[in-house]
Structure 1
Amino acid sequence: MDFSLSEEQQMIRDTVRKFAEAKIAPAAHELDEREEFSPELTRGLGELGVFGIIVPEEYGGQGLDYLSYVIAVEELARVDGSQAATVAAGVSLGIAPLLYFGSAEQKKKFLPALAAGEALFAFGLTEPSAGSDSRGTKTKARQDGTFWVIDGSKIFITNASTSMTSGVIAQAVSGVKDGKPEYTCFIVEAGTAGFTAKTMHKKLMWRASNTAELYFSDCRVPESCVLGKVGDGSKQMLKTLDSGRLSIAAMGLGCAQGAYEAALKYAQQREQFGQPISKFQAVSFKLADMATEIEHARTFLYRACWLRDTGQPFSKEGAMAKLYCSEVAQRVANEAVQIHGGYGLMKEFDVERFYRDQRLLQIGEGTSEIQRLVISRAIGC
């Protein structure tokens, strides 16, 4: 049993960490304050190769394993959740469905620019009345000759309204089979008549990540925009989210690591009663617990990625990793603020942003309750 990273994986960690500390960290506070998505940082990450890690070389990517990608997301989240979210959604929800289910023509058309970080795709699943109940989708698609006409809306869609967004993948009810709704995913390019994306503001977290509402009104797309087969939308969504949970887990792990490091540094520098507060057992034991939980989270997440990379079932472990890493992020960020005391409530300190950013992780891409449902079913409950 070998727990060491390959030279390539370690290089990815070092390279992404260097970029995050040199380019993202200095800009994170202001971008968060202004709720501003950064095309410059996104393109910089593209030049670094982050968006193309799991994309085959024939489409402009590097063709590496999923663990390498998860390590990159972890390192970004260690510095800023917003930039990590842009990458995680761009790859797991934008690139991955095209990679898994797209036709040869669709892959050739879209993947090179997406892998290079020159463009972004979004995944339109959540609706105002369809969150955890994704099959409650009300967006409809009807066939009209060689076109499909889409009507409906989506909400909380990451990367959907940036200046770099070239399209979205939207799930819609495309018919009824055996008395049950049939779901199909459609590629809708930016600028398509009847399709609009509206940026959402005033978020608690990931304020420098783009989030949008999508509206489809008599939106006509050709048959060539069907992703995979008609009626396969639900299966595609489930497979996409299985892998996507690993990237959200990586965000939780990175967030926890960043908050822990900030708390440790502060505790070593802050003096009370004539000594650094890290010397007080009440604080040192908090840090010890934080470090322990982070190591456990990392080990389990990497194992889940190993299962995926070796072609073994990983759905249960993916749900476990997402659940555990996101809740570790919650506990660690909370204790990091506590260690900072009043300063932890001030925006000048990064733990304030880590505390806000972690909150989405127990909700997005399947709530903690849904993860427990997936796990309970997998263990035979």
Structure 2
Amino acid sequence: MDFKFSDEQLMLQDVARKFAREEIAPIAADFDASGQFPMETIRKMGELGLMGIEVPGEYGGAGLDAVSYALAMIEICAVDAAHGTIMSVNNTLYCNGILKYGTEAQKHAYVGPVARGEAIGAYALTEPQSGSDASAMRIRAVRSADGSHFVINGKKSWITSGPVADYIVLFAVTDPAAGSKGISAFIIETDKPGFHRGKTEPKMGIRASATCEIEFTDYVCPAENMLGSEGKGFGIAMGVLDAGRIGIAAQAVGLARAAYDAAIEYARERKAFGQSIGSFQMTQVKIADMKARLDAAWLLT
């Protein structure tokens, strides 16, 4: 089987690798310690096409494929998982969802700025009482009498990029009696009245990828901002998550590669009994096992 990459794919991989090493590596530790969102480097990533890799050029993206996206993601996450997480949400959970289910007007208005790195996108599914069981959500979107808008009330939890997001793909209940078929999707503009951000959540790691709770209080969402048709939100949510799993796998490969490289370096530097610990057979076995697992993960991604 031919596993060769195209020139375009290799070019993007090289761009991502160079940017990660030259622009992200020098600041990653400081941003992780402070929890500050790395807006400047995210903007630069947008200029390089990394925030909308699979977005067609007509909507402001790079117009490449999923393999290109995975290759770039691995390079970014091999240096810093926070930048990779932000990149993942923008590319798949936000942009891909609107590209697949949105109208032409929605694509032009809400995908372009995010794909270019001029704005930040987010995806709001989880609630305080519903995580994996997304159909148990409680947030409500009630259509107005004239049908021109929906009034949204409720909370979402653990929203990646929530503290800084300009636009959010939101899932809310429009028909409480219909179960999962009563959930609809909306594109939210966060600068409108009724939208509130909670405090940034303290995390054990990946802190520069900011996470918070968001709340809606009588938020008015125009009917034309519904994503897809009414009652189709749960299917949209699951479809978008499925596409996003490619990015999650690539993130894991990038992180694993960084861990492997660190282990090799330590095995060479650490001395015991007059020699580097990498010269001991037990250490070599562990490193060989790491490499085999890493190569398997690479091929599976």
The TM-score range, normalised by the shorter chain, is: over 0.9
Supply the AA of the counterpart residue of 2:149.
F
Alignment map for 1:77-156 (pairs within 5 Å):
77-144=77-144, 145=146, 146-156=148-158
Supply the AA of the counterpart residue of 2:106.
Q
Deviations 1:126-146 (A, max 9, x none): 000010101111111111121
Q: Distance in 1 between matches of 2:177 and 2:202?
A: 41
Residues 179 and 138 of structure 1, relative CA distance in 2, 3 Å threshold: closer
Query: Which of 142, 158, 161 in structure 1 is aligned with 2:160?
Result: 158
Alignment map for 1:128-277 (pairs within 5 Å):
128-144=128-144, 145=146, 146-162=148-164, 165-176=165-176, 182-277=182-277
Higher helix share: 1
Deviation at 1:201, TM superposition (A): 3.0
Deviations 1:152-196 (A, max 9, x none): 10011111221xx22111101101566765110111101111111
Aligned position for 1:343: none
User: Residue 14 of structure 2: SS of its match in structure 1?
Assistant: helix
Q: Distance in 2 between matches of 1:130 and 1:123?
A: 15
Deviation at 1:148, TM superposition (A): 0.3
Residues 242 and 11 of structure 1, relative CA distance in 2, 3 Å threshold: same
Kept in 1: contact 2:52–2:114 (CA 8 A): yes
Give the TM-score normalised by the residue count of structure 1: 0.76
Supply the AA of the counterpart residue of 1:290.
M
Supply the AA of the counterpart residue of 2:132.
S
Kept in 2: contact 1:159–1:211 (CA 8 A): yes
Where do 5+ consecutive residues of structure 2 fail to align?
Answer: none
Kept in 1: contact 2:181–2:231 (CA 8 A): no
Supply the AA of the counterpart residue of 1:14.
D
Kept in 2: contact 1:70–1:246 (CA 8 A): yes
Aligned position for 2:6: 6
Kept in 1: contact 2:90–2:115 (CA 8 A): no
Kept in 2: contact 1:93–1:244 (CA 8 A): yes
Deviations 1:293-317 (A, max 9, x none): 010011011xxxxxxxxxxxxxxxx
Supply the AA of the counterpart residue of 2:118.
E
Supply the AA of the counterpart residue of 2:114.
L
CA RMSD for the aligned pairs?
1.3
Deviation at 1:111, TM superposition (A): 1.6
User: Residue 51 of structure 1: SS of its match in structure 2?
Assistant: coil
Q: Distance in 2 between matches of 1:85 and 1:276?
A: 36
Aligned position for 2:68: 68
Q: Distance in 1 between matches of 2:7 and 2:248?
A: 24
Equivalent residue pairs, number: 299
Residues 290 and 191 of structure 1, relative CA distance in 2, 3 Å threshold: same
Q: Distance in 2 between matches of 1:178 and 1:213?
A: 26
Q: Distance in 2 between matches of 1:75 and 1:178?
A: 44
Kept in 2: contact 1:160–1:167 (CA 8 A): no
User: Residue 297 of structure 1: SS of its match in structure 2?
Assistant: helix
User: Residue 127 of structure 1: SS of its match in structure 2?
Assistant: coil
Kept in 1: contact 2:181–2:234 (CA 8 A): no
Aligned position for 1:52: 52
Q: Distance in 2 between matches of 1:114 and 1:179?
A: 32
Deviations 1:232-274 (A, max 9, x none): 1011011101110111111111000001001101111222111
Supply the AA of the counterpart residue of 1:167.
Y
Q: Distance in 2 between matches of 1:181 and 1:236?
A: 11
User: Residue 188 of structure 1: SS of its match in structure 2?
Assistant: strand
Q: Distance in 1 between matches of 2:202 and 2:179?
A: 41
Kept in 1: contact 2:121–2:167 (CA 8 A): yes
User: Residue 169 of structure 1: SS of its match in structure 2?
Assistant: strand
Kept in 2: contact 1:199–1:210 (CA 8 A): no
Supply the AA of the counterpart residue of 2:71.
I
Where do 5+ consecutive residues of structure 1 fail to align?
Answer: 302-381
Deviation at 1:90, TM superposition (A): 1.2
Q: Distance in 2 between matches of 1:219 and 1:252?
A: 37
Residues 91 and 268 of structure 1, relative CA distance in 2, 3 Å threshold: same
User: Once the two structures are aligned, what percentage of the paired residues are identical?
Assistant: 38
Aligned position for 1:296: 296
Aligned position for 1:355: none
Residues 89 and 194 of structure 1, relative CA distance in 2, 3 Å threshold: same
Q: Distance in 1 between matches of 2:152 and 2:40?
A: 33
User: Residue 52 of structure 1: SS of its match in structure 2?
Assistant: coil
Deviation at 1:202, TM superposition (A): 1.7
Q: Distance in 1 between matches of 2:242 and 2:260?
A: 28
User: Residue 218 of structure 2: SS of its match in structure 1?
Assistant: strand
Aligned position for 1:19: 19
Supply the AA of the counterpart residue of 1:97.
G
Supply the AA of the counterpart residue of 1:188.
I
